[in-house]
Structure formats: structure tokens, C-alpha cells
Amino acid sequence: MADGGSTWVICKDLLVVPVPSGLLMLTNRTTASPDPVLMARALHQPPLHGTVALYLDAGAEMSAPVQRYVSALTGPERDRLVIVPSPSAGPAADTKTLEGVADFYGVRVHAGPGLVPSPRTVYVDAEEQETAAPDATAIRVLPRLQSAMRGAMHTAVDLATGGPAPSWQRLEQYLDQAPEIRPEATQPWRVFGSESPSPAPYALGVYLARYGAPAQVAEVLRRSVAPVTSSQLYEVLGDTPARVDPDALIVGLLDAPGSAALVRSAPRGSGPERLMWLMSDGGPQPRLWWVEPPDGRGPRTDGPTMSVALADPASHDRRMAVLLDPGTRVVRVDPAGRAIVASTSRSGPPAVRPGAPDVPEKPSPAPGQPAAPVEPIPAPVGTRYVGPVLVVDTGDSWRQRADTLTRIVHAAQDAQRPVVAINVLHGLAHDGPELTALRTVLVRYQRLGARPVVVATSGSDAYAAVRAQFRPVTVEARTDGLEQRWQVTDPAGVVHAMAAGLTPALFAAADTVPVAPDDRGLPPVLARWLAQNTWPDAERYLRDNITDLLRPDVGEALHNLRRQEPGDREVGAYDVILGLVRAAGGVADPSAHRFAPTGPVDLTAIEPGPVLSEPLRETFAFDYLQPHAAVGVDDDAGEKRKLRKPWDDELLWLTYTGGRARGPQEGKAWMADMAALAGALDEAGERRVVANDGAGTVRRFSHGQANATVFTAVSTVLGIDAETTRHLAAQPDPVGANPVLQGAVTQIQACQLSPIDRVAWVVRMSALEQRITADGRPELAGLLRILTETLASCP
């Protein structure tokens, strides 16, 4: 939704500040300041599993600008949101208040596990799944409509696991026994500017009640808190919608009693898609029935919860007319509920983990057909290629399993899908180097739209969390008594093959697992650019592929990715770099001058302005992002850290002069881009910490992120308009009078600069104050001086 380090002014009443776990929404009011507790939480809270947190300051619980912002998001983006209210918004135990917030935005609301429970609250664990109260890390307060949908889904799941499948009688029971959805189906309910809720949960409930569900599917759906989306519905069915001949569809349903078709009609305007089931009742003389979710516009004459009507193929009613629409797509299932695709080998509907974004129409590879080969990606840090296999190896990961690795490589020689191997050792940490490397690999393949085969020697909770996040095809070792067996499973956990040893046949089976392409795929040239391991590699790839990278679809995809992945700071830098190239009309001449500081660094001196001129070339960005001053505990005198100063001096001057040379909105976007460059810098640091007992430990941190925090705070203040700065200059407490300034000061207070960097920042900010005063804006210089004094006085 946004990149780390940028600030968006959506309108005069709303400021959106990206933070590591989501977005901080600040309403532009001069009578109050943001809650410092909320600010600290937003700045330091790590990303929540599968969600984007939306932090609201006090007074924004029912904010029209925030509601407009939420309403403008796509359905998959909204489904990931979790509202985090300000601690000063009201009593922590006021469940009704939080239910009102959830209804106002149509989004889940975060609360501590001590909240008084209600029918619309759910205890969740760290993976955003329902859990028992003693094990909960938080509570989610659900919007009224979402709670009703979840209740209807639970009704369907209970019925689906309570008897043989398939069952028309059980479907009738579902339509009669889903009281949770009746209040919502019989009264208008406005959702995100549309009066029609998403039909996917109801359509999935109909399918489960009619055809049943494996226990693993039922368990996932029971525990899920995120709204069910169309992508999960299609994955349960085992296929994605496709165009069919209406006459052939009717004949096929009548010839196969008990079969059905999910009919998806094209959305009208900005409304949601429309989903209906056309079902054969399975009688000796089968008849066709329409089963349609409620549309939320009022009570229906043919059913309080679902519209169930006899289908007459010869009629011209609105439903039959839908089949003739060129935009209509259909998924057919056989009398057992399995998708009708060529050479079906599925043992049943796959498991599904609700909460992932909806997928566009992309055909799954037909079962029995091998997946198309994918060109290998560069091996990221912590991995290496052994033959065709990309092996997660952070040093001695395979020291005791070298023979197993040899067998994996031999068996995977002819694999069509990419193969990634990891030795799942005891105690593997979620944020440790092994799983970090595995996530990097899977992100790169995800961006290519490919699902690799992950070979794992064992299982663990931490590894299972990564597997659930990316949903690859897997070849995993399982112990059966005293015997070890290897099994091939699809992303839903359905076993497709099993053998006592690692054989080429296992990998051949993995290649033929029918899996829909990953919907998060990017244009291949962009995905491979983002997969480069170093910034010099990225610069070379840019030069070699400049024509393709400048295509409009590539730029749009990169910008969208930057918005959707606010925690990926490298993506923000790539977007800035491509923007610089586009603005300059192409890449810089390789022989052109590049910024290169010379001589010893003087901490007390700074150039009076930028050395470089516009248009700023991408070469400066690439050179800036090189780790010039990553240091350890041996740099007590700070000599290595001094090497970073000239680069940050230049970037600050470019931030100010470039922003000043542009209009207000363009200037803010420019300054946000410069802060994004700083945010992508990876310069590790180490600091020796001595406890009271004299014991010393080494703490690792990021110099780059600390500097980026200051860049972001300074850019925020530089973006304050002239009228506001004049108003604040006359206030006795300008910080308390303006939430934007308050936020910048809070960022400075939370910053963890090294002593050398702190001195350098005080010098360069003082020089910038003088330049701003000389440029005729002394009031703005005064606001910047507040940041300088705050930084100088930090402990």
C-alpha cells in the first residue's frame, strides 16, 4: 500500500505515514497531537502475520477522510487491513465502541486479549488464526457483516463434516440453518461504497454443504479470521473460472445428476463480482436449480437467506441471460464436487487458507502435464546451487545430512519446476538465517509467478509458517513408526505421491501437481531485476534490459508493488531508481562523472549545497546504496562511520533543493523518494552493551535504518506549507499544536543513531537551517531547529 519512509497527503485532512507493520493515519488537526504511545507502537511494531495495520490517532475512530481512503482500496487490500485505534480513543474494554469502529470502516479492529468478549470478537494467535483465550495474543473485533459471513461459514463447515458427501438434503439444511446471515440478508447494508457484500463466503458455504469437506479444510476455515475471497473459493473447487458454451453447460449438468457449476458474472461498475450456483439435484429425472447468495438490497420473495429457484433452460429470466453474457465465467464440478478438468487425479478438494488476495483468471496446468520450466534465479545470501537444486545453506546446514543432499540432487536432475532444498534442523528460528534465506527464495519465485518444489528433511512450526505463507509444492520427509517416507503434497496439503526413498518419480509427480500460477507474479523482466543480489548487479541488469524495464506495464507493476508491500524497503528504492531513469530519458552514460568523495572526512564541515545537479541520475542512487560504512565493535573511534557522512550530506541537499524546485505535491513526492533511498540502505552495525554486572554483549542494529528515520522526519517537516509554518511560529508550543511536527519529533526521539552519525546530523541540519533562512523561510528553519535540538539532546 505504501513504501517505508514515504509520507502521503491524501487530502488536507489526512496524512498517511508508512510504518513497518502498515500505515499510520494522522488527521490534520491543530488542536491536538498524536498519542505518543500510538506513535511508538506504530514505529516499532513488527508486521502482523498476513495483515496491514492501520493505526488511527485519537479522533479518527469515525474519520470520513480515513473511510474514503479505505473505501478506495481494492477488495484484497481491504481484506488485509486491521484497524489499531489510539489508546486514548476510549476505554480499552469498551467492546461496543470498537464494534462501531469496525462497522464504520468495514474492517477488523485490533484489541488486547483483555477485551470483554462478544459474539463479534475472536481470540487470535500470532498467525491471525482463532485460538483459545489463554493462548491468544490479541482479539479481533469483526464488522457486523463479516461476523455474519463467518457464522454462515461455520454453519456450512459443521454440516459438511457431519455426514456423507455429497448430500442435497444437507444443502437444504444449510439454507434453513444459517440464522447468522438472515439479519444481513434482509436489510440494506452499505459496504465500501457498494450495497453488495462479497458473495464468495456464501458461495463457498453452499459448496461445502452440498459436497462436504475434508477435515483439514474444515479446520482451516473454522480458525480463519480473514474474509474468504474468491481465490480461496476457486482453490477449494480446484479450478479457475473459464468461458463455456451455455448450451453445452446445460446438457452437461443434466447428463451428470448431482453435478454443478459456479457461475461468475462480470461485475457492474465498481461493485463486486456476482456468484451463483447452477446445480443438478441428482434425482432420477434431474432438474436444475439456481442457488444465489443474498444481494443485501432487501428481503427476497423466494427465500430469507438464499435465493433458490428452479432453472428453466428455455426461459429468458435474468439468471439464464447471464450465461449468454460474454463476460461470464464458469467452474464446473462433478457429482463428487471435484473440478471437471482433463485427467482429474485429485483425491478431493484442496485445503485453503483464507486471507490471500484474489487471483485473476489464470489457467492451472492440467493434471498429468508437467509444469513449464522456469529459468533459475540468482542464489541469494544463505543459498547455493548444487546441480539444479537451490540449497539453503548458511555454513554447515548440511554437514550431517550430506548424503541426503546428494540423493536430492540426483533425484531432481530432470525436474521441471525449480527445486529448493532445506535441512530443517531442530530449533530453526523464524527469523534465523535459514528461513530468512528460504523466504527470500520463495518471494523471488512468487514474483515470477512460479511455484517451486521445496524439499524439506523434517518439519517444525517455524518452517510450517513459511510453507503456509508461500504455499509451494513440497517433497517432505515423514516418519511412519520407525520408517521414513517421502511424500509429495500440493499447496493445500493434499498428498499426491509417496515413496520410501528420494526418486526421480517423486519429482516427476511434483511437476504434474495441478497448481494455479501465483497471482502475485510480475512482468518477468521486473521480477528478475528485483532478484539481483547486489546493487552493482542491479545496475548492470538495468543497463542490459533498459528497453523492457521502461515499458509502461513494468513501471505500473513496480509502483503497485511498492504500495502493496510497505515493509519491503528495497522495492521502494527500485521504484525511485526507475523513476529517475524515466525522468532523465534513459540510463546515464557509463563514462559520465559519478559522485565520489575524496580526502579525509571532516565532521564539522559540509558543502554549501549539492555537488550534483538535476536531472539526478540513477548512478548516484546505486552508489549511495552501496554499504560504505558497515562497522563492528572495533570501530570505537568512528573512523569507518565517517565514510557515510558525505553521502548523507549530498542526499539531504538533493532532498531539499529538489523538493523546493517542484510544486507542493511534486516536491513532497520527491522528498519521500529520497527518504526511500535512505531507507533501503543496508549498513549493519554492532554495539557493545555492558550490563550492571560487567558482562558485555554485542548488539546488532542497522545504521541505515537509523539514518532513514532522520531523513523521513526532516522530509516531513520540509513538506509543511508556508501558511502552516507561519502559524506554528506564533504558537507557544508548536509541537503540541501540529500532529505532523509531533510525529517528526517522535521519530527523532525514537532514533538510535551512532555517536558519529548524531554529530554529523546536527552539523548538516544546522547548515540546512541557514540555507532555508537565506531562501526566505525563517519560520520553516525554526521548525527544523526543533528537530536539531531534539536530536542533540537525545541520550
pLDDT at 460 over 80: yes
Least trusted range by pLDDT, from 146-150, 196-200, 386-390, 391-395: 196-200
Position 773 scores a pLDDT of 95
For residue 214, how far is the Cα from the chain centroid? 28
pLDDT at 576 over 80: yes
pLDDT at 2 over 70: no
Q: What is the mean pLDDT of residues 208-214?
A: 83
- Whole-number percent of the chain with pLDDT over 90: 33
Position 299 scores a pLDDT of 32
Bridge-partner residues for 696, per DSSP?
Answer: 690
Residue of higher predicted confidence among 475 and 693: 475
Burial of 535 (0-12, 13-18, 19+ CB in 10 A): buried
pLDDT at 331 over 60: yes
pLDDT at 9 over 50: no
Q: What is the mean pLDDT of residues 180-203?
A: 50
Per-residue three-class SS string for 622-655: HHHCCCCCCCCCCCCCCCCHHHHHHHHHHHHHHH
Burial of 473 (0-12, 13-18, 19+ CB in 10 A): buried
| Cis preceding linkage at 18, omega within 30 | no
Q: Confirm if 574 and 530 have CB atoms less than 8 A apart.
A: yes
- DSSP, collapsed to helix, strand or coil, labels residue 185 as helix
- Order of strands, sheet of 22-27, starting from the edge strand that comes earlier in the sequence: 8-11, 14-19, 22-27, 52-56, 81-84, 108-111, 138-141, 121-124
Phi-psi region of 41 (alpha: psi -120 to 50; beta: other; left: phi over 0): alpha
Position 317 scores a pLDDT of 62
Rounded Cα distance between 293 and 197, Å, is 10
Query: Which range has highest mean pLDDT (33-42, 85-94, 234-243, 590-599)?
Result: 590-599
Q: What is the mean pLDDT of residues 436-457?
A: 94
765, 767, 769, 772: CA torsion to nearest 10:
-130
Least trusted range by pLDDT, from 155-169, 504-518, 756-770: 155-169
514, 518, 521, 524: CA torsion to nearest 10:
-20
Longest dimension (CA), the chain: 92
61-81 as b/e: b if 16+ CB within 10 A: bebebbbebbeebebbebbbb
pLDDT at 282 over 80: no
Q: Among 22, 76, 71, which Cα is nearest to 49's?
A: 22
Q: Among 611, 656, 637, which Cα is nearest to 774's?
A: 656
pLDDT at 206 over 60: yes
- Order of strands, sheet of 453-456, starting from the edge strand that comes earlier in the sequence: 383-386, 389-392, 419-422, 453-456, 473-480, 483-489, 495-499
Where would I find the H helices in 177-294?
A: 182-185, 200-211, 215-223, 230-237, 246-255
**Rg of the chain taking only CA atoms, in angstroms:** 29
Q: Among 482, 673, 607, 605, which Cα is nearest to 2's?
A: 673
- Give the torsion sign (CA, 669, 675, 680, 681): positive
**Angle separating helix axes 504-511 and 402-411, nearest 10 degrees:** 60
State which amino acid sits at residue 652: L
Cα distances (Å, whole numbers) of residue 628 to 242, 535, 595, 677, 696? 53, 13, 13, 15, 27
What cell was used for 278? 447452477
pLDDT at 62 over 50: yes
pLDDT at 69 over 70: yes
- Name the average pLDDT for the chain: 79
Over the stretch 519-532, which tens digit does the pLDDT of each residue have?
Answer: 678 999 999 999 99
- Give the torsion sign (CA, 119, 120, 125, 128): positive
Least trusted range by pLDDT, from 64-68, 81-85, 118-122, 547-551: 64-68
pLDDT at 684 over 90: no
Q: What is the mean pLDDT of residues 303-318?
A: 57
Position 195 scores a pLDDT of 37
Q: How confident is the model at residue 365 (pLDDT cuts 50, 70, 90)?
A: very low
For residue 23, the tally of other CB atoms under 10 A from its CB is 22
Q: How confident is the model at residue 307 (pLDDT cuts 50, 70, 90)?
A: low
Over the stretch 693-710, which tens digit does the pLDDT of each residue have?
Answer: 555 555 666 788 888 899
- DSSP, collapsed to helix, strand or coil, labels residue 553 as helix
Residue of higher predicted confidence among 469 and 366: 469
- Quickly list DSSP for 270-325: TSPPEEEEEEE---SS--EEEEE---SSS-BTTBSSSEEEEE-TT---HHHHHHH-
Q: How confident is the model at residue 276 (pLDDT cuts 50, 70, 90)?
A: confident
Half-sphere exposure (Cβ direction) of 721: Cα atoms closer than 13 Å: 9
pLDDT at 196 over 80: no
Least trusted range by pLDDT, from 472-476, 533-537, 685-689: 685-689
Using the 8-state DSSP alphabet, how is residue 180 labeled? G
Residue partners of 93: CB distance under 8 A and separation at least 6: 114, 115, 116
Least trusted range by pLDDT, from 180-194, 207-221, 225-239, 459-473: 180-194
Q: How far apart are the first and last CA of the chain?
A: 34
Position 300 scores a pLDDT of 35
- Strand spans (E) along 453-609: 453-456, 473-480, 483-489, 495-499
Burial of 428 (0-12, 13-18, 19+ CB in 10 A): buried
What cell was used for 179? 440464522
Rounded Cα distance between 368 and 245, Å, is 25
Q: How confident is the model at residue 419 (pLDDT cuts 50, 70, 90)?
A: very high
Beta strands 495-499 and 684-690, pairing class: unpaired
Half-sphere exposure (Cβ direction) of 620: Cα atoms closer than 13 Å: 25
Q: Among 197, 206, 200, which Cα is nearest to 178's?
A: 206
Over the stretch 158-185, which tens digit does the pLDDT of each residue have?
Answer: 887 766 668 888 888 887 765 445 444 3
Q: What is the mean pLDDT of residues 735-744?
A: 91
What cell was used for 223? 480458525
Phi, psi of 418 (to 5 degrees): -60, 145
Cell numbers 531562501 correspond to 775
Position 165 scores a pLDDT of 67
Position 273 scores a pLDDT of 66
Residue partners of 104: CB distance under 8 A and separation at least 6: 61, 62, 67
Q: How confident is the model at residue 366 (pLDDT cuts 50, 70, 90)?
A: very low
Rounded Cα distance between 784 and 250, Å, is 71
What cell was used for 588? 546515464
Rounded Cα distance between 599 and 614, Å, is 25
Over the stretch 367-407, which tens digit does the pLDDT of each residue have?
Answer: 444 556 678 899 999 999 999 999 999 887 898 888 899 99
Q: Confirm if 730 and 765 have CB atoms less than 8 A apart.
A: no
For residue 597, how far is the Cα from the chain centroid? 39
Q: How confident is the model at residue 768 (pLDDT cuts 50, 70, 90)?
A: very high
User: Which long-range contacts (C-beta less than 8 Å, at least 24 apart) are formed by 242-251?
Assistant: 242/329, 242/330, 242/331, 242/361, 242/363, 243/326, 243/328, 243/329, 243/330, 244/330, 244/332, 246/323, 246/324, 249/278, 249/323, 249/330, 249/332, 250/288, 250/313
